[in-house]
């Protein structure tokens, strides 16, 4: 029986560490997923705190996983993990059954393993149910679990080191970019190609239903079986009948518009040879004395082909109005959500060959464009 407890402890611990590390590789991704939930619950005021919440959650997952494996403070961590799993199970359960008016799922994924291992909400829900059962077992047998090492200092030291490492990894990827790029804009991918619908796509099937009312009772009818004139028409609605497969392009809503509102996406991404896209989501924390601005000026002097892409083009134009940048660089408009996916840092520089992403740089390593 003791071997069973050890296996369960290691399984849950490793899964927590793995889940935390995958999300720590890209804390912005978890932050944006949290914002989706808060929007669904009309809790928009929490948007400004989601990145901090994501960082802390990732740290706790890693630390809790290590603590379970080394058997340190099992009473504390087994209960904390149980509470976290209950919370996760609620979230994935909600995401599994929350639907749009047309019957389609409101959430495509829950973000449990980040963008590297996308699970749909129902897969995540059953995964959490299994973890919930295993964690309850650990809570029941917590007093019978022996620490991995006899020295409490060694066990505590490993947990503390995991905490430091978890914070360190996230500080690094926030300053630079994710170590493992799992996004559709990763180097080597072709943006125009990924904007297209997959060849083997199977579309969703919808049906039109009509809602009629009679004597205070509403009822839905199919088009081929409408009621008689004693019923009063209320509304017509579209209902999802059968979910399609592989019917969404990997890159959506990536549209570049010029100052006049014209779609110039294909023109820009068809430029022959080397060119650059500079993504600036917003201008809130940008100072013209930053090192990356000087690097950008150097690129302009070397006559590099550069387009600035922003969700706030007017603010960007105003920011660069007294520099050589404004005279040389066209500023294009793009949806903020698309930029959040394409550029995890503000700003992010793409080195391109036509529509193919060659390399990506954050402000911290702009000099690598050379």
Find the mean pLDDT for residues 104-128: 71
d(CA 102, CA 119): 22
Say if residue 119's pLDDT is above 90.
Answer: no
Measured distance CA(119)–CA(107) in Å, rounded = 11
Q: Which two tokens stand for residue 119?
A: 């699970």
Cβ-based neighbour number of residue 171 at 10 Å: 12
pLDDT digits (tens, 9 = 90+) for 299-342: 888 888 999 999 999 999 888 876 656 667 889 999 999 999 99
Selected from 3.30.70.1560, 3.40.50.300, 1.10.443.10, 3.40.30.10, the CATH number assigned to the domain covering 251-369 reads: 3.40.30.10
Cis peptide before 347 (omega within 30 of 0): yes
* Cα–Cα distance for residue pair 57/38, rounded to 1 Å: 16
Cα separation of 269 and 266, whole Å? Answer: 5
Q: Give the containing element (helix H, strand E) for 247.
A: none
Model confidence over 122-170: pLDDT tens digits? 778 888 888 889 999 888 888 878 888 888 899 999 999 999 999 999 9
- What is the rounded distance in angstroms from the CA atom of residue 236 to the CA atom of residue 214? 16
Per-chain mean pLDDT for the chain: 86
CB 312 within 8 A of CB 326: no
Query: CA 52 to CA 31: how far, in whole Å?
Result: 8
Q: Name the strands in the sheet holding 232-242, side by side, starting at the edge strand that comes first in the sequence.
A: 217-222, 205-214, 232-242
Quick one: which H or E segment has residue 194? helix 191-194
When pLDDT is cut at 50, 70 and 90, the band that residue 275 belongs to is very high
**pLDDT tens digits for 84-99?**
889 888 888 777 776 5
Domain ranges of the chain: 2-175, 205-242, 251-369
Handedness of CA 130, 135, 136, 141 (dihedral sign): positive
Quick: pLDDT tens for 162-204: 999 999 999 999 999 999 998 999 999 999 999 988 777 777 7
pLDDT value at 244 more than 90: no
Output the pLDDT for position 26. Answer: 93
Instruction: Answer for the pair 323, 286: CB distance below 8 angstroms, yes or no.
Output: no
- Position 246 scores a pLDDT of 67
Provide the sign of the torsion angle of the four alpha carbons 76, 79, 83, 85, taken in this order: positive
Q: Identify the residue with better confidence: 46 or 183.
A: 183
Is a pLDDT exceeding 60 seen at residue 105?
A: no
């Amino acid at each position: 029986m003791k071997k069973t407890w050890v296996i369960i402890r290691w399984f849950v611990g490793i899964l927590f560490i793995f889940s935390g590390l995958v999300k720590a590789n890209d804390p912005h991704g978890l932050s944006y997923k949290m914002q989706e939930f808060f929007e669904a619950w009309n809790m928009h005021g929490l948007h400004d705190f989601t990145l901090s919440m994501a960082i802390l959650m990732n740290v706790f997952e890693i630390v809790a996983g290590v603590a379970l494996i080394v058997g340190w403070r099992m009473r504390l961590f087994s209960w904390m993990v149980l509470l976290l799993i209950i919370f996760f199970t609620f979230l994935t359960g909600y995401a599994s059954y929350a639907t749009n008016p047309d019957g389609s799922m409101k959430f495509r994924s829950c973000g449990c393993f980040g963008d590297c291992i996308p699970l749909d909400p129902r897969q995540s829900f059953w995964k959490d149910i299994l973890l919930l059962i295993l964690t309850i077992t650990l809570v029941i047998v917590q007093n019978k679990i022996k620490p991995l090492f006899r020295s409490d200092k060694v066990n505590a030291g490993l947990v503390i080191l995991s905490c430091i490492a978890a914070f360190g990894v996230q500080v690094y990827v926030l300053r630079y970019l994710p170590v493992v790029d799992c996004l559709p804009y990763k180097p080597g991918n072709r943006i125009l190609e990924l904007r297209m619908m997959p060849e083997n796509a199977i579309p969703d099937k919808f049906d039109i239903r009509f809602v009629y009312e009679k004597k205070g009772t509403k009822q839905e009818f199919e088009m081929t079986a409408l009621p008689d004139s004693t019923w009063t028409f209320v509304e017509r609605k579209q209902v999802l009948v059968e979910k399609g497969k592989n019917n969404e392009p990997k890159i959506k809503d990536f549209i570049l518009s010029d100052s006049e509102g014209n779609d110039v996406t294909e023109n820009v991404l068809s430029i022959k040879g080397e060119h650059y896209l500079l993504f600036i989501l917003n201008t809130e924390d940008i100072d013209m004395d930053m090192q990356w601005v000087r690097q950008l000026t150097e690129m302009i002097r070397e006559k590099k082909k550069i387009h600035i892409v922003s969700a706030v083009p007017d603010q960007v134009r105003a920011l660069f109005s007294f520099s050589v940048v404004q005279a040389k660089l066209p500023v294009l408009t793009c949806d903020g959500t698309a930029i959040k996916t394409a550029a995890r840092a503000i700003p992010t520089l793409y080195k391109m060959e036509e529509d193919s992403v060659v390399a990506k740089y954050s402000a911290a390593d702009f000099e690598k464009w050379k």
